[in-house]
Amino acid sequence: VLPLIRRYADRARDLLDPQIVDYIEQGSGEEVSLSEAVLAWQRLRLRPHALVDVSHVDTGITLLGITLAAPVIAGPTAAHGLVHPDAEIATAQGVHAAGSLMTVSTRASAPIEQIAAELPDGWWFQVYLTREPKAAHGAALRAARAGARALVLTGDTPYLGRKSRVGRLTALNTHTGMINLGRHLPPSSDPAWALEQDPAATEHAITDLTELTGLPVLVKGVLRGDDAERFLAAGAAGVIVSNHGGRQLDQAISTADALPEVAAAVAGRVPVLVDGGIRSGVHVLAALAFGASAVLLGRPLVWALAADGADGVRDTLLALHDDLGHCMALAGVTCCAAANPSLLGFAAAPVRKYARELLTDHERRQ
C-alpha cells in the first residue's frame, strides 16, 4: 500500500466522526470480501523482464475516446459532503488537476451540473436504476447534457448489502438520492421507496440507457465471464470487475481473482476495468497484465478528500501514477499495452487456469 494512501487514511480517521469512518470503511456481512481485497492483489507474483531499455516509460492510455496520463481513474463513491465541505466539487478539481477521469456517483452530495463545470475534459456518470425509472433516467439525461462521456451502470446492487456497522447513517440513501434524483420524481411518489434500487433490473437496462442518452454504457459489478458475455450482447461498451468494495454480497470473489475470467471472456472486444483493494502501482500493473485497461479507486480518494481536499485527491492519483511508472520500469514494460499475462507468475492457485487461457489467447493474437 502506497505510504501516501496510508497517511491520508490515518489522517481522515482522526478527523472524521467515527460513524462516517465506519460508513466509508465498512463491508457487508462479516467483511470477508473486504478483508481479502488488498491481499488478493498482494498474493500475485510477477515475472519481470531484465535488460530492457526503460529510460522512457509511457503510462498513458486512451479509454473510450478520453486520453489519460495513467490508467487510474476515480470510481463512483457516494456523498462526498460527509467528509469535506466542498464535496464532489473538490474531488473533481483534484481529479482534473491530476489529468485523470472522475466517475460521478448518482448519490453525489452536489448537483451534477456543478461537478461537471470542474471537469472540462470529460467525465463519467454512475447510474443506479431506481424503482421509479423517471428518477434514474432523468439524471442520466441531465448528465449527458452536462457533458458526461459515458454511463456506468451499477449492476450489483438490487438491494443494499447488509452491513453490521450501520448507526445513524441508514437514512443516507434517500437523502443523497434527493440531491440529483429528487427533481425527477412524480409529485405523488414516496422518495424513500421510489429512490431505492430496482431489484427487477436486468441487462435490458443497458440497451435502454444507450438509446435514451446516446452514451456508451459500462456495467459495474461484473464478477463472471458469462455475465460479461450477456452484457456485451446487450450492447455494453465496457465492463468493470467489482465486488463494490466488499459492500454487497459478502464472500463474493476478490476482483483480482475474478478479473482473468472476465478478461478472457471479453477477449479485447471492449475495455475491462477493475476496482477493489487497488493501493499501489504493482497492483495496477498486475491488473493490466491480466487484461484490464484501467483501474478505479474507491476509498483512497475519499480518505484523501477528507484529509486534504482537492490537493489530497490530486496527490493520491499522481502518486499512484508515479508508482505505476516505476513498477513498469522495474518489470521491463515500457507502455501499458505491453503488460500481458506472461508477466504473471501464477502464484495464486485460483487464477492459474484462467491466466493460462488468457496467455494462450494473447499468444494466438501475437
Ligand X SMILES: Cc1cc2nc3c(=O)[nH]c(=O)nc-3n(C[C@H](O)[C@H](O)[C@H](O)COP(=O)(O)O)c2cc1C
Catalytic residue annotation = 244
* Residue 150 in the binding site for ligand X (CB under 6 A): no
For ligand X, give the closer residue by CB, 225 or 298: 298
Rounded distance, CA 290 to CA 262, Å? 10
* H-run or E-run covering 119: none
What backbone phi and psi angles, to 5 degrees, belong to 205? -60, -30
Q: Please name which of 57, 11, 77 lies closest in space to residue 306, comparing C-alpha atoms.
A: 11
For ligand X, give the closer residue by CB, 94 or 277: 277
Rounded distance, CA 235 to CA 351, Å? 28
State the cell numbers at 73.
481513474
* Residue 161 in the binding site for ligand X (CB under 6 A): no
* Residue 197 in the binding site for ligand X (CB under 6 A): no
Closest approach of Cβ 124 to ligand X, in Å? 11
Closest approach of Cβ 145 to ligand X, in Å? 21
Rounded distance, CA 121 to CA 174, Å? 30
For ligand X, give the closer residue by CB, 33 or 340: 33
Rounded distance, CA 339 to CA 343, Å? 7
**How many C-beta atoms surround the C-beta of residue 350 within 10 A?**
16
**Contact region with ligand X (CB under 6 A), list: 57-65, 70-78, 177-185, 334-342:** 70-78
* Residue 276 in the binding site for ligand X (CB under 6 A): yes
List CB contacts of 120: < 8 A, sequence separation 6 or more. 96, 147
Closest approach of Cβ 365 to ligand X, in Å? 30
Rounded distance, CA 79 to CA 74, Å? 14
For ligand X (CB under 6 A), the number of binding residues is 22
**Contact region with ligand X (CB under 6 A), list: 161-169, 179-187, 269-277, 306-314:** 269-277
Site for ligand X in 36-55 (CB under 6 A): 37
Count, residues in the chain: 366
| Residue with the shortest CB distance to ligand X | 298
State the cell numbers at 232.
456485451
* Residue 244 in the binding site for ligand X (CB under 6 A): yes
User: Could you tell me where the DSSP H helices lie in 146-245?
Assistant: 172-181, 191-194, 204-213, 225-233
Rounded distance, CA 60 to CA 261, Å? 25
Distances (CA, A) of 273 to 132, 291, 317, 352: 29, 9, 17, 20
The binder of ligand X chosen from 91, 109, 126, 174 (CB under 6 A):
126
* Residue 154 in the binding site for ligand X (CB under 6 A): yes
Q: Are 250 and 36 in contact (CB under 8 A)?
A: no
For ligand X, give the closer residue by CB, 12 or 333: 12
* Residue 33 in the binding site for ligand X (CB under 6 A): no
The binder of ligand X chosen from 225, 260, 298, 341 (CB under 6 A):
298
Closest approach of Cβ 82 to ligand X, in Å? 8
For ligand X, give the closer residue by CB, 72 or 119: 72
Which parts of this chain interact with ligand X (CB under 6 A)? 24, 37, 75-78, 105, 107, 126, 154, 220, 242, 244-245, 275-278, 297-299, 302
